[in-house]
């Protein structure tokens, strides 16, 4: 058999000013043909599971592309169509027997609100009977087109996403069972009228912990083959944004529908717990300063590049400096100009730099506000290192020319390529011992837990500025389905 395995992943934030062109994919991970196998075989990614199972069966692998970009603004039309054409070309040639796709589920292009659904429709138009398996992120905004145009699908159950390989393998086995005549998978799905916030979706926290435990219980019951609760991705203004459920059963549509309904009911029962409550930054910093433990993790979650943030908003960093905290490591500030200035000065150079604040955020009515700082360049690197932690294990990171800048009691990792700091390597590979820090300030939301939660003695969320805000009131939604909680009162949602 000839098996196509491909990856096309982007979490689109329609409020983000960060451009998503093909170079954006190249900066994080764009591999073609044999290079896909070299990059992802043996990693903790869904496509690695696809590769392993196909090779175990002696199938011939076709890997046209594996592409992923850090979350950012709408995917440019040319970039989207290029990626899609790379995937479609071997199918159009007529010599593919099954397709295994590693997708995100919240990709929106300039010309298409549902990037994944459109890709799957295109495949079905070419090969109506093609067996297709899809692995999706927990933050998928699920659509009817996605479900109707594949045979089986599943989403991650963990956030941070440490189970990517496991769920990829699970759903790949289901499709192989269909191909080899051992199963007849059928699916049921439905949306939940909740615009949940990603800060409330950590799988070690309630309510997502119980929701994901419920999916695992469902999967232990015959004939359920896979069950997924998607929290959705709220920072994109499309009709289908929000939570949802999809289930896969072996030949029993009624069982799939009943399982779906149970999970949807459970999602609605905790809708209030899926919305974050804010508090002043200085109040959180005061409390953190009084704690006699270390290291303490501080989260600048409104500027999280892992959800489309610019990663150069200096509001929270300024508050930390003004509060007098010492022994602070910051990861990361995206500022290629400042990184170049630090590389030019070299290690040990004393410089004054206007750090961050290079990108305006028109969707929030905010201009960029650099922070002028004087300090020392502690270290410069090429920004390349291998992830050793439990998320993206074995994948190479490239933050571009990178520097560590020290000002007062604060060490700031400055990068030339966007990166969410989910692995402690972002500090240790740049000469900072995380365990020697009093505070670790991360532009992250939940993924930081993969590498930093085992180290942290306490964690505080700091409600700053940025396009990954958890405050729905400052975002303008024009296209999202209504009514939906919390944009609309729960009573009106229930009545609808």
For residue 115, what pLDDT band results from cuts at 50, 70 and 90? very high
Strands 132-136 and 152-155: parallel
As a whole number, mean pLDDT of residues 163-173 equals 98
Q: Could you tell me if residue 455 is inside a domain?
A: yes
| Alpha carbons 100 and 40: distance in angstroms, whole number | 14
Q: Could you tell me if residue 488 is inside a domain?
A: no
- The verdict on 225 and 300 lying in the same domain is no
Asked if pLDDT for residue 269 goes beyond 90, the answer is yes
CA dihedral 378, 383, 384, 385 (to 10 degrees): 50
Residue 496: its pLDDT value, please? 85
Percentage of the chain beyond pLDDT 90 is 98
- The verdict on 10 and 55 lying in the same domain is yes
| Alpha carbons 423 and 306: distance in angstroms, whole number | 13
Asked if pLDDT for residue 250 goes beyond 90, the answer is yes
Q: Could you tell me if residue 485 is inside a domain?
A: no
Q: Could you tell me if residue 32 is inside a domain?
A: yes
- The verdict on 247 and 394 lying in the same domain is no
Asked if pLDDT for residue 431 goes beyond 90, the answer is yes
Of the residues 256, 274, 292, which one is the last residue of a structural domain?
A: 274
- The pLDDT tens digits of the residues spanning 125-141 come to 999 999 999 999 999 99
Asked if pLDDT for residue 472 goes beyond 90, the answer is no
- Give the mean pLDDT of the chain: 97
Of the residues 223, 253, 274, which one is the last residue of a structural domain?
A: 274
- The verdict on 244 and 360 lying in the same domain is no
Where do we find the tokens 């990861």?
Answer: 331
As a whole number, mean pLDDT of residues 31-54 equals 97
Which residues are within 8 A (CB) of 431 and not within 5 positions of it... i.e. 6 or more apart? 378, 379, 404
For the four alpha carbons of 130, 238, 263 and 160, in that order, the dihedral sign comes to positive
Element (H, E) at 170: helix 164-179
- The verdict on 231 and 331 lying in the same domain is no
How many helices (H) and strands (E) are present in the chain, helices listed first? Answer: 15, 20
Q: Could you tell me if residue 487 is inside a domain?
A: no
- The verdict on 246 and 311 lying in the same domain is no
- The verdict on 315 and 196 lying in the same domain is no
- The verdict on 363 and 426 lying in the same domain is yes
Are 28 and 334 in contact by the 8 Å Cβ rule? The answer is: no
Of the residues 238, 253, 274, which one is the last residue of a structural domain?
A: 274
Structural domains in the chain (count): 2
Residue 352: its pLDDT value, please? 98
For residue 414, what pLDDT band results from cuts at 50, 70 and 90? very high
3-state secondary structure of 188: strand
Q: Could you tell me if residue 484 is inside a domain?
A: no
Cα separation values, 375 from 89, 186, 317, 411, Å = 53, 61, 15, 9
- Residue 306: which domain range? 281-469
Are 196 and 207 in contact by the 8 Å Cβ rule? The answer is: no
As a whole number, mean pLDDT of residues 360-382 equals 97
For residue 313, what pLDDT band results from cuts at 50, 70 and 90? very high
Q: Which of 206-215, 415-424, 470-479 has the lowest mean pLDDT?
A: 470-479
Residue 194: its pLDDT value, please? 98
| Alpha carbons 47 and 54: distance in angstroms, whole number | 11
Residue 473: its pLDDT value, please? 85
- The verdict on 79 and 8 lying in the same domain is yes
- The verdict on 95 and 187 lying in the same domain is yes
CA-wise closest residue to 231 among 213, 207, 204: 207
- The pLDDT tens digits of the residues spanning 336-347 come to 999 999 999 999
Q: Could you tell me if residue 401 is inside a domain?
A: yes
Strands 371-381 and 402-407: antiparallel
- The verdict on 296 and 159 lying in the same domain is no
- The pLDDT tens digits of the residues spanning 278-303 come to 999 999 999 999 999 999 999 999 99
Q: Which two tokens mark 310?
A: 């610019």
- The verdict on 96 and 180 lying in the same domain is yes
As a whole number, mean pLDDT of residues 396-412 equals 97
Give pTM, 2 decimals.
0.96
Q: Could you tell me if residue 490 is inside a domain?
A: no
């Amino acid at each position: 058999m000839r098996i196509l395995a491909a990856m096309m992943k982007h979490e689109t934030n329609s409020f983000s000013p960060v451009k998503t062109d093909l170079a954006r994919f190249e900066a994080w991970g764009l591999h073609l043909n044999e290079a896909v196998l070299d990059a992802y075989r043996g990693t903790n990614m869904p496509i690695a599971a696809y590769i392993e199972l196909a090779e175990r069966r002696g199938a011939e692998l076709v890997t046209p592309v594996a592409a992923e970009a850090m979350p950012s603004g709408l995917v440019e039309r040319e970039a989207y169509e290029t990626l899609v054409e790379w995937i479609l070309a071997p199918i159009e040639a007529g010599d593919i027997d099954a397709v295994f796709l590693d997708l995100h589920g919240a990709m929106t292009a300039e010309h298409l609100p549902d990037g994944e659904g459109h890709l799957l429709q295109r495949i079905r138009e070419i090969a109506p009977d093609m067996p297709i398996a899809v692995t999706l992120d927990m933050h998928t905004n699920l659509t009817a087109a996605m479900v109707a145009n594949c045979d089986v699908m599943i989403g991650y159950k963990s956030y941070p996403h440490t189970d990517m390989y496991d769920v990829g393998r699970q759903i790949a086995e289901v499709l192989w069972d269909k191909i080899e005549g051992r199963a007849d998978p059928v699916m049921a799905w439905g949306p939940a009228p909740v615009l949940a916030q990603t800060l409330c979706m950590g799988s070690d926290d309630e309510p997502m912990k119980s929701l994901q435990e419920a999916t695992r219980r469902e999967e232990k019951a015959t004939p359920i083959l896979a069950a997924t609760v998607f929290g959705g991705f709220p920072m994109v203004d499309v009709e289908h944004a929000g939570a949802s459920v999809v289930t896969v059963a072996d030949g029993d549509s009624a069982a799939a529908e009943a399982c779906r309904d149970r999970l949807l009911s459970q999602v609605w029962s905790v809708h209030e717990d899926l919305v974050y409550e804010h508090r002043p930054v200085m109040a959180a910093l005061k409390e953190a300063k009084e704690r006699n433990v270390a290291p303490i993790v501080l989260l600048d979650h409104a500027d999280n590049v892992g959800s489309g943030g610019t990663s150069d908003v200096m509001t929270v960093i300024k508050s930390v400096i003004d509060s007098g905290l010492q022994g602070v490591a910051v990861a990361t500030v995206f500022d290629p100009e400042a990184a170049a200035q630090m590389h030019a000065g070299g290690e040990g150079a004393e410089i004054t730099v206007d750090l961050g604040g290079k990108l305006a955020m028109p969707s929030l009515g905010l201009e960029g506000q650099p922070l002028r700082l004087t300090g020392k360049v502690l270290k410069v690197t090429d920004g390349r290192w291998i992830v050793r932690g439990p998320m993206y294990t074995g994948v190479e990171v490239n933050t571009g020319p990178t520097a560590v800048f020290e000002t007062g009691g604060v060490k700031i990792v400055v990068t030339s390529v966007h990166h969410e700091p989910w692995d402690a390597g972002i500090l240790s590979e740049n000469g900072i011992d995380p365990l020697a820090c009093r505070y670790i300030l991360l532009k992250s939301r939940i993924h930081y837990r993969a590498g930093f939660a085992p180290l942290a003695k306490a964690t505080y969320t700091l409600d700053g500025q940025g396009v990954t805000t958890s405050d729905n009131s400052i975002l303008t939604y024009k296209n999202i389905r209504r009514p939906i909680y919390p944009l609309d009162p729960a009573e009106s949602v229930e009545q609808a």
